[in-house]
Amino acid sequence: MAVNPDKLTALDVMRDAPVIPVIVLHDVAHAVPLARALVAGGIRMLEVTLRTPQALQCIEAIARDVPEAVAGAGTIRSASDAQASVLAGAKFGVSPGYTSAVGKACRDLGLPLLPGVATGSEIMMAQEDGYQQLKFFPAMQAGGLPMLKAWQGPFGDVTFCPTGGIHAGNAAEFLALSNVACVGGSWIVPTDAIQQGDWARIEQLAREATQLAR
């Protein structure tokens, strides 16, 4: 599927592949080979979390050197995070929670956002601000499959990307739900594989992830 990163929507991000990798990078030198390995395995939407001092540089490197990838910024918690992410080249954002200030900042910047929610009230707040595609986080700790099933009734118009505790062994169960478009997970970007530069392993994990049924 052809995706224009400059006309991206949150739904485009969610529907591109069954899994959005949740990436934590401590070394800028790892960013480009990691992104290339994921793209080779069929994963293009890459969430680089703003959890390390190097994260923005990593997003910048991927945006510059891996045009087939779509670099996104995770752990957006403020308007300044959103602004810095866009300046670094991020084409979408993901937040661990939701505030109207973050939602407005991303909208003003033209940055598609997957806001994090864990309760019905948070879903309603995000919907009031026009967000229908949401990240359910932390998915397992906040109720997992039973919670998503319960939300199908009152929030049947919302599409979720559950993240947090998702792995190869349970991802298919989440993807089978009608209100789930994709899952977020770190299992396809294991820390040891990144540190060892085992890009072939990461490519294979990405390839396996694309085969998960939705």
76: CATH: 3.20.20.70
Nearest to 162 by CA among 152, 143, 89: 143
CB atoms within 10 A of CB 29: 12
Residue 194 confidence (pLDDT) above 80: yes
Nearest to 28 by CA among 155, 176, 194: 194
Residue with tokens 């959103």: 82
Terminal C-alpha separation, the chain: 16
Domains held by the chain: number: 1
Confidence of residue 111 (pLDDT cuts 50, 70, 90): very high
Nearest to 112 by CA among 21, 19, 22, 3: 3
Catalytic hit among 60, 91, 135, 203: 135
Confidence of residue 137 (pLDDT cuts 50, 70, 90): very high
Is 149 one of the annotated active-site residues of the chain? no
What digits encode the pLDDT tens for the residues 55-86? 999 999 999 999 999 999 999 999 999 999 99
What average pLDDT does the segment 143-155 reach? 98
Residue 147 confidence (pLDDT) above 80: yes
Is 47 one of the annotated active-site residues of the chain? yes
Residue 178: domain span: 5-210
Helices marked H in the chain: 10-15, 31-40, 55-65, 79-88, 100-109, 120-128, 144-151, 171-175, 191-196, 199-210
Catalytic hit among 47, 60, 91, 203: 47
What digits encode the pLDDT tens for the residues 100-110? 999 999 999 99
